[in-house]
Structure 1
Amino acid sequence: MNKRFLSLMVLAGLTIGAQAKVKLSHLVGDNMIIQQQSDVRLWGWAKPKSKVVATTSWSNERSEAVAGKDGKWLLTVKSPKASYTPLSISFDDGDGKVTVNNVLAGEVWVCAGQSNMEMPIKGFGNCPVEGYNQVVLEANKHKGIHYVKVPSIMSTKPLDDANCEWKEANADNVSEASATGYFFAKTVNEAIDVPVGLIMANKGGSRVESWLDRDYLTKNTKEDLDSTHMVNKFKWDFLYPLLWGNGTFNPILNSTVKGILFYQGCSNVGDPDGQYTQRLADLVAQWRRDFKQGDIPFYFVQIAPYHNGDINGDAGPRLREQQFNAAKVIPNSGIVCTEDLVYPYEVEQIHPAQKRQVGERLAYQALNKTYGMKSIICESMTFKEMKIDGDKVLLHFDNEYGAYSRFEGIEGFEIAGADRVFHKATARHTWVDAPGPWNEAIVVSSPEVKEPVAVRYCFRNFQLGNLANAGGLPLFPFRTDNW
């Protein structure tokens, strides 16, 4: 543990203090994408009390900042409208000029979370991403998608910089980009024809507590924040609280971004009811506070089916339920369902191969809610209400958009009576020749349940359903009981 934190002190040496020439944050460099038509923050280090002047290729305006006693400086420049025209920004502190080239103005999104967000196009060991070769073959056709991968580093104190660099997502290096993030960027790029930049700051296996700050964890949790104690408490370092946020996320907080994409939750399976919902909402509030850009969009992914040690258990869906509830309380947010994006043979695969659809569904959220493309169907179906009719249960849903994916052969439903024992149910679409709201519904029943009282849909750790709406987006797992 001591060696690990010693390496962080070396990284902290990037804050240079009395260096002869102005130094930029690694997040400010060649190939970067800046948020279009914004006051873009740029930062770095210079000799204490020296003046740093920034000039741009697209404007005659100058931006200035004076380095503090610690050498840190931050200034803003007004960015132009998005385009594929390469731009440049120069910085001068009087002792030398540094120029950043091949800068594009576009849309900048953060890719945060754990391994399913980190998972690159090339996949992990024994965890491939579907369609790898096709992505590489087509990468050069999609101009203006750039990314920067922040190394996953722990620190007991918030770091100001990270050893990283912006890259163009071309055939040579697209394989290293977050698959979920890249498919999001590709979809947005194609839809609104602007460059898209991805800031990838994530860590496989991390908990939501890994990203919450010291003040919050001290006041609201019982987490032991002594790094030497963490070694004894946790079998794996990716479970540590606080440290990953300090080392991996804090370096990006000066960036000017459009919004945040988040895919995390597997390591919080088993959390008490409501705890994850609250902590995720508080994490979003923390990040919005620290980015200082108001309630920027937050779009996140509900974790996919996984055996969690017992395919018939319900720890996984209970966490998915908490994620679903978080979307209700986090302003300017959206959640995507991945219930249908796991193959039957992936029951023990925590990194499902179908990442294209995950990224696309995040893009649908952004295109509809952030970029105003209201014709895009972005919401999955959700349970609305039920009605018991003898030995049957009639169900209504929100967000069907006028169609179900199927009328027959529906899988994933279970019903229970007063004994609370759930049995597989037959489900089908039905019309009833009668006036009123219940003349059309999904009706479920089981010969083993004569007096049903509750319905569940895909509420087991690994249970796959197939009901979707007109946009092909799946029904969220749900339960009508509170058992």
Structure 2
Amino acid sequence: MSKRILIVSVLLLTAVLFLQAKVRLPHIISDNMIVQQTSKVHLWGWGTHGKIVKVSVSWSVQIYSTTVGKDGQWNVDVTTPRASYQPLNIVFDDGERTVINNVLAGEVWVCAGQSNMEMPLKGFPNCPVEGCNEAIIEAGGLTDKIRFCKIPSRMAMNPLDDASCSWRCVDQRNVPDQSAVGYFFARMMNRALDIPIGLIEANKGGTRVESWLNRENLQALTSEPLDSAQIVRQYSWDYHRPLLWGNGTFSPILGYTVKGILFYQGCSNVEFPSPNYANLLACLVEQWRNGFGQGQLPFYFVQIAPCWYNNDANGTEAAYLREQQLKAQTIIPNSAIVCTNDCVYPWETQQIHPRMKKPVGERLAQIALNRNYGFENIRCESARFEKMRIKGDTCIIFLKNDYQGISRYEDFQGFEIAGDDRVFHKAEVAYDWRIGLMVRSEKVPHPVAVRYCFRNFQLGNVYNQALLPLFPFRTDNW
């Protein structure tokens, strides 16, 4: 009997040693992954201390090697080829081989933020996505062209180094579950570049900018609770909680080599307003860039759309947040922002998830193509307020990024004008390309300020020569 027990013990010990000998990879390094082309791509994992891990790749004869550290971790940087649809593989060997198959070299972008980025192509309940069926039909021809990896939304008190996820090739079965904004971004990118596009979706609906900041930045810039019990007491809705979503949902991807970050967030910060939002967002971008360790990664983000916040279309809570977002773009290096003032239908006043996701994704793609891929003729900037001159009863508005023209000469909507009493009235607007936008109202004989779509829900109709909408603005600081 004792001899049998000894034999079983030896077999179990052998099995344990066998399992320990094989390298373990993070889930994001898996079959069907897209690696960033022509880069030194970071690969990592875990193994037995002291073991040598050799990494070989199908596109090169070079063999990379590294040693597992005392903490059980190993890292190696691998040079990747130019983008193509040619399937590749990567072999990890520490005495036993682990093979990652059907790898493609292409462009990898992160899709971060809250629910309007998370919103899948099939939509949320009572929140459809325009163009869904067309996109699903087309997805059948994009299997080797677009791939995505969805990171499960998870909270954690400490940063996680792995997440249960996998890379999926876009097809008619799984594309309904992909981020709609991400999909429309990737589709336009693939059409323009004809190379594989990979998306890493790390987002969570309802989150605030504070939800993604790490402990050090929260301590330095906010008064947010950082003890788990205090966090739960202060925020009954888990998606509003600080720290936890960044640790659990974003930290696992920080080792991956990417091209840039797409970000759509802000709605929850209307409910929890902060005059410091722009600086918090700038801090978050710096935090993520430091985490990826790839320098000033492109950061392209989306201004929140019109919505009836607090059941008040005429309120200004959301307008101030949009203003903070526009300010953030001016202080974040290598960043750009998309205007969505026209991406809502008039009947969607109470819809926090408007159905028009295609123009949002495509405008992000146009920025990326212009700034990162040599498409200099793509005009990707929305017009913005530059300055105002007052002449008698008329305020003359000058714009920048109008590409030498705007879209109309009459029927201007969304403008308001006020005098010293700070009461705003609907304005009449005329346009002369030699002068500018001339704003006036019979009710305001001595104007001092102009606002454009500076409400929770107010739709304008001014576009620049590229048919991109004018950013909401105000000339006052009231």
Question: What is the TM-score of this pair, normalised by structure 2?
Answer: 0.94
Which of residues 344, 348, 367 in structure 2 aligns to 1:342?
A: 344
1:38-187 alignment runs, 5 A limit = 38-94=39-95, 96-142=96-142, 143-187=144-188
**1:333 match:** 335
Specify the SS of the correspondent of 1:346. Answer: coil
Which of residues 408, 411, 415 in structure 1 aligns to 2:410?
A: 408
The amino acid of 1:139's aligned partner reads: A
Q: How has the CA–CA distance of structure 1 residues 122 and 253 changed in structure 2, closer, same or farther, with 3 Å as cutoff?
A: same
| Post-superposition offset of 1:18 | 6.7
State the alpha-carbon separation in 2 of the partners of residues 351 and 105 from structure 1.
Answer: 33
**1:198 match:** 199
The amino acid of 1:185's aligned partner reads: A
**1:266 match:** 267
Specify the SS of the correspondent of 2:103. Answer: strand
Specify the SS of the correspondent of 2:62. Answer: strand
Question: Are residues 1:481 and 2:476 paired?
Answer: yes
The amino acid of 1:454's aligned partner reads: A
**1:386 match:** 388
**2:364 match:** 362
Larger Rg: 2
Q: How has the CA–CA distance of structure 1 residues 259 and 67 changed in structure 2, closer, same or farther, with 3 Å as cutoff?
A: same
State the alpha-carbon separation in 1 of the partners of residues 220 and 405 from structure 2.
Answer: 47
**2:436 match:** 441
**1:294 match:** 295
| Post-superposition offset of 1:63 | 1.1
Task: Report Cα offsets for 1:57-112 as digits up to 9, x if no partner.
Answer: 10001111211223221111110000010100011111x21111110001000111
Could you list the runs of 5+ residues in structure 1 that have no partner in the other structure?
A: 1-15, 432-438
Q: Is the 8 A contact 1:104 1:144 kept in 2?
A: no
Task: Report Cα offsets for 1:335-381 as digits up to 9, x if no partner.
Answer: 01000001111111111110000000101111111112110011000
**1:11 match:** none
Q: Is the 8 A contact 2:221 2:280 kept in 1?
A: no
**2:421 match:** 419
Specify the SS of the correspondent of 2:140. Answer: helix
State the alpha-carbon separation in 2 of the partners of residues 274 and 174 from structure 1.
Answer: 38
State the alpha-carbon separation in 2 of the partners of residues 399 and 219 from structure 1.
Answer: 36
**1:470 match:** 465
State the alpha-carbon separation in 2 of the partners of residues 453 and 293 from structure 1.
Answer: 46
Q: Is the 8 A contact 1:145 1:189 kept in 2?
A: yes
Which has the higher mean CA deviation after the structures are superposed, 265-274 or 115-124? 265-274
State the alpha-carbon separation in 2 of the partners of residues 246 and 385 from structure 1.
Answer: 42
The amino acid of 1:417's aligned partner reads: G
| Post-superposition offset of 1:395 | 1.2
Specify the SS of the correspondent of 1:106. Answer: strand
The amino acid of 1:113's aligned partner reads: G
Q: Is the 8 A contact 1:24 1:44 kept in 2?
A: yes
Specify the SS of the correspondent of 1:338. Answer: coil
Q: How many residue pairs were aligned?
A: 460
Q: Is the 8 A contact 1:18 1:46 kept in 2?
A: no
| Post-superposition offset of 1:273 | 6.0
Percent of pairs with identical residues: 57
State the alpha-carbon separation in 1 of the partners of residues 124 and 220 from structure 2.
Answer: 37
Specify the SS of the correspondent of 2:385. Answer: strand
Specify the SS of the correspondent of 2:295. Answer: coil
Could you list the runs of 5+ residues in structure 2 that have no partner in the other structure?
A: 1-16
**2:7 match:** none
Question: Are residues 1:457 and 2:458 paired?
Answer: no
State the alpha-carbon separation in 2 of the partners of residues 213 and 473 from structure 1.
Answer: 35
Task: Report Cα offsets for 1:408-448 as digits up to 9, x if no partner.
Answer: 111000000110000011112125xxxxxxx3211111121
Q: Is the 8 A contact 2:462 2:470 kept in 1?
A: yes
The amino acid of 1:296's aligned partner reads: L
Specify the SS of the correspondent of 1:289. Answer: helix
Q: How has the CA–CA distance of structure 1 residues 129 and 365 changed in structure 2, closer, same or farther, with 3 Å as cutoff?
A: same
Q: Is the 8 A contact 1:17 1:70 kept in 2?
A: no
State the alpha-carbon separation in 2 of the partners of residues 285 and 296 from structure 1.
Answer: 9
Specify the SS of the correspondent of 1:153. Answer: coil
State the alpha-carbon separation in 2 of the partners of residues 440 and 219 from structure 1.
Answer: 47
**1:36 match:** 37
Which has the higher mean CA deviation after the structures are superposed, 140-149 or 208-217? 140-149
